[in-house]
Amino acid sequence: MIDRELIKRALAEDLDGGEDITSVATVSGTEKVVAEFVVRKDGVIAGIDMAIAVLQEVGLTDVSQFVQDGTKVTAGTVLLSVRGDTRAILLAERTALNFLSHLSGIASMTSTWVGAIAGTSCKIRDTRKTTPGMRQLEKYAVRMGGGVNHRMSLSDAALIKDNHIAAAGGVVEAFTKVRAKFPKSEIEIEVDNLEQLQKVLPLKPDLILLDNMSPELCAQAVKLVLGICKLEASGGISLQSARAFAESGVDYLAIGALTHSAPVLDIGLDMRAE
């Protein structure tokens, strides 16, 4: 996945209307080098296409790719190499690494969560807690790590949460208003307890979000629902407790940390004379 407009903005931000004064002062402008993007830590890769597009944006076209997005790699793996003008490579370096390291960090964290619940029928799902302007890319990285996406935007589907419920006057009232206004939209509704769950079940929502419930309460919810709709657990879920939630029988675990708290994967650029 490539967002060329975002790349242009990132490079423009780095130059801020000027030039790379360090490279202009230290590099004559005639040197050619070979540079390799090398991962320093085990992880899952995402963002290779973005890194290549950054290189292309500054005029570098002699690029070799060795790893595909979604690949699990070990420290020391060379992801791609580029040959060309030294100044251009130095200009592209940080922007390319920022995208590649950030997206690979998301993919790596997602893979860890997916591994924690392996063998269950539950899926790890992201949220809208994304970096402004990077939602498409970050959710793509989640998929590369083995997770699945929740709605991409507010217009994709309805998610009735506690504030909507308070504004509408109750769980049933909120659901009824959404269904009347948008009869063809998928509707997910948040419930805080089993009593609320029983109230909304007759309305046949597409999905019910179990907010801050324990694995034990989630298991009770699964028995109450009996497959009428899908269930998603959210809130209070840690990597250590993920399997217990997954084994309760819910269909999804909503993990905002995939996009808002994933540490970058350590990737560096090593240059050598051609």
pLDDT in tens, 196-249: 999 899 999 999 999 999 999 999 999 999 999 999 999 999 999 999 999 999
- 92 and 134 assigned to the same domain: no
- 19 and 106 assigned to the same domain: yes
- 107 and 120 assigned to the same domain: no
Whether this prediction's pTM lies above 0.85 is answered by yes
- 175 and 216 assigned to the same domain: yes
Q: Which pLDDT does position 121 carry in this prediction?
A: 97
- 140 and 242 assigned to the same domain: yes
Q: Which pLDDT does position 272 carry in this prediction?
A: 87
- 92 and 170 assigned to the same domain: no
Given 126, 211, 232, 251, which residue is catalytic?
A: 211
Residue numbers of the chain with a pLDDT score lower than 50: none
Q: Which pLDDT does position 29 carry in this prediction?
A: 79
DSSP, residue by residue, the chain: ---HHHHHHHHHHHHTTS--HHHHHH--S--EEEEEEEE-S-EE---HHHHHHHHHHTT--EEEE---TT-EE-TT-EEEEEEEEHHHHHHHHHHHHHHHHHHHHHHHHHHHHHHHTTTSS-EEE--S---TT-HHHHHHHHHHTT-B---SSTTTSEEE-HHHHHHHTSHHHHHHHHHHH-TTS-EEEEESSHHHHHHHGGG--SEEEEET--HHHHHHHHHHHTTSSEEEEESS--TTTHHHHHTTT-SEEE-THHHHSPPPP-EEEEEEE-
Given 72, 161, 177, 243, which residue is catalytic?
A: 161
Per the annotation, the verdict on 223 as an active-site residue is: no
Q: Which pLDDT does position 170 carry in this prediction?
A: 87
Given 57, 93, 190, 232, which residue is catalytic?
A: 190
- 94 and 171 assigned to the same domain: no
Q: Which pLDDT does position 81 carry in this prediction?
A: 98
User: Based on the structure, what is the number of domains in the chain?
Assistant: 2
- 124 and 256 assigned to the same domain: yes
Q: How far apart are CA 90 and CA 3, in angstroms?
A: 21
Phi, then psi, of 193 in degrees rounded to 5? -155, 175
- 165 and 197 assigned to the same domain: yes
Per the annotation, the verdict on 72 as an active-site residue is: no
Q: 62: domain CATH number? A: 3.90.1170.20
- 157 and 103 assigned to the same domain: no
> Residue 105 is part of which domain span?
4-113+263-273
Phi, then psi, of 57 in degrees rounded to 5? -65, -30
Per the annotation, the verdict on 184 as an active-site residue is: no
- 149 and 251 assigned to the same domain: yes
Q: Which pLDDT does position 31 carry in this prediction?
A: 87
Length of the chain: 274
Given 123, 129, 151, 199, which residue is catalytic?
A: 129
Q: 160: domain CATH number? A: 3.20.20.70
Given 41, 83, 94, 243, which residue is catalytic?
A: 94
- 66 and 174 assigned to the same domain: no
Tokens at residue 65, please? Answer: 């790719």
